[in-house]
Amino acid sequence: MGKLAGSICILTGCFVLLRHWTECVSQREDLMRELLRFLRSWEYALKMKRMRVMDFFDTYPYAKNCLKQITDEVKAMLVMHTDPMGQSAWQNELKKYEGQIGLQKEAFAILVRAGESFFGTNREEAIQCVSACIRQMEEVMEEERKSYREKRKVYMPVGMLTGIMLVILLL
């Protein structure tokens, strides 16, 4: 009976670890999709509405709480004049939340660079910058999907085989 219980625990553990890895990748992809939507909305606000960044931060319908926290703190820093440069406020807040955001380094660097489009002085340069950030974020997302598919082909069978091998060793 003990061997059966141990076998079930091992197989369950392997399944839970694989499921956790899959969920982490899924959450990171959801966040990148939300960031892409955020950047596209900013691009539209710049091109069509000629909206100011503070107004955009106030009216954007946030789906991820961490992004709202970052923009709220950047707005507060700018209003209070604790950090008069918007780009540096954006970078400081992103670095503060870097662990909570959980993005790859490439995607995080793109998000930091997007601050140039929020706080630049020239509208045309801001549009070019946000367009470049959108293209780069799409490329990073595609690379992440490819990497996930390749790793999944290996991790799933190897993880379950490892669990089965441990069960066989127990028996």
CA distance 57 to 3: 58
In the prediction, which pLDDT does 54 show?
A: 87
The CA-based dihedral angle spanning residues 124, 127, 133, 134, taken in that order and rounded to the nearest 10 degrees: -150
In the prediction, which pLDDT does 36 show?
A: 93
What is the secondary structure of 12-33 as a DSSP string?
HHHHHHHHHHHHHHHHHHHHHH
48: which DSSP letter?
I
CA distance 113 to 35: 13
In the prediction, which pLDDT does 120 show?
A: 76
Q: Which residue has the tokens 């369950």?
A: 12
pLDDT tens for each residue of the chain, 171 residues long? 677 777 777 778 777 888 888 898 888 899 899 999 999 999 999 888 888 888 898 899 988 888 899 999 988 888 887 776 778 888 888 888 888 888 888 989 998 998 888 887 788 888 899 999 999 999 999 999 998 888 888 877 877 777 777 777 766
In the prediction, which pLDDT does 171 show?
A: 67
